C-alpha cells in the first residue's frame, strides 16, 4: 500500500496568521478549562469553611496566583473575541483573505483593551495611592 498523508496538517501548509489565531484560540480554551478548575477549587474552599478559604485566598492572592489570574483574564478576552469572529464566519461574512487578516488584528487589539481593563479593575482600581 502506498504511503499517503492522513490529512492536511501543519507540515503541509505554510504557516499563516490564520493558523496562529486558530492555535491560540484552542490554547486559550485549554487555559480557561484549567481556570474553571481553579474557580471550582476556590468555591469548594469557600464552602468548606474559613480555614480552607484562607488557604485558597493565600494561594490566589500570592504573586503566582495573581499572574495566573491575569493570564486567565487575557485568555478569556481572546477566546471571547475570537469566538465572535468565528460566529461571524459561520454567517458567511469575513471569509476573504484581507477580511480575515483585518478581523485577526481587531481581535488582538480588542483583547489587549478588554484584558487591560479587566486587569486594571482587578488589581489596580482599588489600590489606594
The residue segments making up the domain with residue 73 are 17-122
Burial of 38 (C-beta count, 10 Å sphere; 0-12/13-18/19+): middle
Per-residue pLDDT tens over the stretch 78-114? 999 999 999 999 999 999 999 999 999 999 999 999 9
Q: Residue 107 sits in a domain of what CATH number?
A: 1.20.1300.10
What's the pLDDT tens digit per position in 42-88? 999 999 999 999 999 999 999 999 999 999 999 999 999 999 999 99
Structural domains counted in the chain = 1
The answer as to whether 42 is a domain residue is yes
- 11 within some domain: no
- Residue 5, domain member (yes or no): no
3-state secondary structure of 35: helix
The reply to whether 43 falls in a domain is: yes
Amino acid at each position: 500500500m502506498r504511503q499517503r498523508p492522513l490529512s492536511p496538517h501543519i507540515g503541509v501548509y505554510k504557516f499563516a496568521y490564520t493558523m496562529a489565531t486558530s492555535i491560540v484560540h484552542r490554547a486559550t480554551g485549554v487555559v480557561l478549562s484549567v481556570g474553571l478548575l481553579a474557580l471550582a477549587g476556590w468555591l469548594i474552599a469557600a464552602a468548606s469553611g474559613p480555614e480552607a478559604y484562607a488557604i485558597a485566598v493565600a494561594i490566589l492572592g500570592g504573586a503566582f496566583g495573581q499572574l495566573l489570574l491575569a493570564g486567565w483574564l487575557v485568555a478569556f478576552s481572546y477566546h471571547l473575541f475570537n469566538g465572535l469572529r468565528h460566529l461571524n464566519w459561520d454567517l458567511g461574512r469575513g471569509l476573504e483573505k484581507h477580511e480575515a487578516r483585518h478581523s485577526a488584528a481587531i481581535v488582538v487589539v480588542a483583547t489587549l483593551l478588554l484584558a487591560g481593563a479587566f486587569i486594571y479593575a482587578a488589581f489596580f482600581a482599588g489600590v489606594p495611592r
